Amino acid sequence: MTIIEVSTGKKLPIQIVPVEMADYKSLVKSRYFFDWETEKNEEVYKLVIESDNSILGIISLERIPGEWRVHIRLLTVSKENKGSGKKYEKIIGNLIAHAAKIAVAEYGELACISLRPKTEIAQHYIDKYKMNITGITLSLIVPEILDLINQFDNNL
Amino acid sequence: MIQDVEYGVDSRYKNKKERESESIALMQARLEKMKHLPKEQIIKAKLLQLKLKMDNFLKEPENDNDNHFSKFLEIYIDAIYSQRSKFAKDINVTPVFLSQIINNHREPKEEFILKLMIHSEKVFKNVCDFHKKTWYQVYFQEKIAETMSSQDEWRPRIEKQVNLNELVEK
């Protein structure tokens, strides 16, 4: 999996690994937009460049086995990766693809990921990640969930 | 402007009622869509699931006595074939030989793993990249895990046969 350095166009290999307790000290709202302390008991992953420890994005997940679904609870990039001046591209896509990989590994052909963005940004997720809309919930299932994984996971 | 929207989402459910009503609506929509899901897509999903499970096993090997190689082999065959004997025919082994490997009554020989490697290359070609060394890695990883977890059984007997007559100085 890679992200792109906007200034050079260079592809950089990344890792998505579980957030450790010590990380929460640095996950402040001013840089990561939400209060991540509240997610301490959830399944939370961080996106880092392989050669660097700086956290560029975070995702919190809930596995719902009874519905063969992984729900994205909270998702963000770091402040310097927001908007037109962002340093790296593809952070959010990689994090969503990570959730998709967990869902497919767990539930196979029944796999589903879901999230609920605000109405004004839902269309962006529908267009960019080919998500389906049901009420206010966006979701990805087979075959689109497989396409997303293949799109972002260069190791596959 | 659209770039500005992609910095984060708070999707947490506010309460149980909200969660339940959305779950029901979502499940109904999914079931409807799944009714029309082509068989090829189901097979692709099963194969990608297998590939991810094998990758996870290689990343975080479990020191247990489970037979991961044969378990993965079984999933692989059942994802593609309606009958295991058809797979046996395709790789030129007898159904009995295949059954013995799946049921852990026989070790897979090198030629069997080589055939499996080539078969997988062809199958995964239109699904995702499947590294040719994956089956080998799983097989040997399992052997390492088995050996490490069963030291109590083999170590006393083997240790009796090992002497060190030439001392290595610190």
Q: What's the pLDDT at B14?
A: 87
pLDDT of amino acid B64: 67
Measured CA to CA, the distance from residue A28 to residue A25 in angstroms comes to 7
Tell me how many residue pairs between chain A and chain B have CB atoms under 8 A apart: 126
Whether residues A104 and B3 touch (CB distance < 8 A) is answered with: no
Averaged pLDDT for residues B102-117: 94
B115-134 mean pLDDT: 93
Chain B residues near residue A96 by CB distance under 8 angstroms? none
Residue A133 phi/psi, 5° resolution?
-115, 130
Mean pLDDT of A81-97: 92
- Contacts of the segment B107-110: beta carbons below 8 A, 24+ positions apart: B108/B69, B108/B73, B108/B139
pLDDT at B6: 67
Nearest neighbour of B45 by CB, restricted to A67, A71, A108: A108
pLDDT digits (tens, 9 = 90+) for B136-148: 999 999 888 888 8
Q: Is A8 on the interface with B (CB under 8 A)?
A: no
Per-residue pLDDT, averaged over B17-26, amounts to 90
Q: Do A141 and B30 touch (CB under 8 A)?
A: yes
For residue B58, name the pLDDT band (cuts at 50, 70, 90): very high
Residue A155 has pLDDT above 60, yes or no: no
- Mean pLDDT (chain B) is 90
Interface test with B, best of A45, A121, A139, A154 (most B CBs within 10 A): A121
* pTM, entire model: 0.90
Domain boundaries, chain B: 39-148
Instruction: For A3-43, write each residue's pLDDT tens digit.
Output: 999 999 999 999 999 999 999 999 999 999 999 999 999 99
pLDDT greater than 90 at residue B94: yes
pLDDT of A9 reads 93
pLDDT tens-digit series, residues A45-78: 999 998 888 999 999 999 999 999 999 999 999 9
Say how many Å lie between the first and final Cα of chain B, rounded: 67
Per-residue confidence (pLDDT) for residue B67, from 0 to 100: 85
CA dihedral B24→A109→B69→A16, nearest 10 degrees, is -70
The pLDDT of residue A135 is: 83
Residue of B nearest to A138 (CA): B26
Collect all residues of chain A within an 8 Å Cβ-Cβ radius of residue B29: 132, 134, 139
Q: What is the separation of C-alpha A115 from the centre of its chain, rounded to a whole number of angstroms?
A: 10
Q: Kindly state the average pLDDT of the residues B151-161.
A: 94
What is the per-residue pLDDT for B23? 92
Which residues does chain B have within 8 Å of residue A107's beta carbon, measured at their own beta carbons? Answer: 49
Predicted ipTM of the assembly: 0.91
The domains located in chain A, with CATH, are 2-152 (3.40.630.30)
- Mention every residue, 6+ apart, whose C-beta is less than 8 A from residue A6: A86, A87, A88, A89
| Shortest CA distance from A93: residue in chain B | B6
Residue A50's pLDDT is what? 86
* Residue partners of B68: CB distance under 8 A and separation at least 6: B57, B62, B138, B141, B142
The reply to whether residue B8 touches residue A34, judged by beta carbons under 8 angstroms, is yes
Q: What is the pLDDT of residues A106-120, one digit of tens each?
A: 999 999 999 998 888
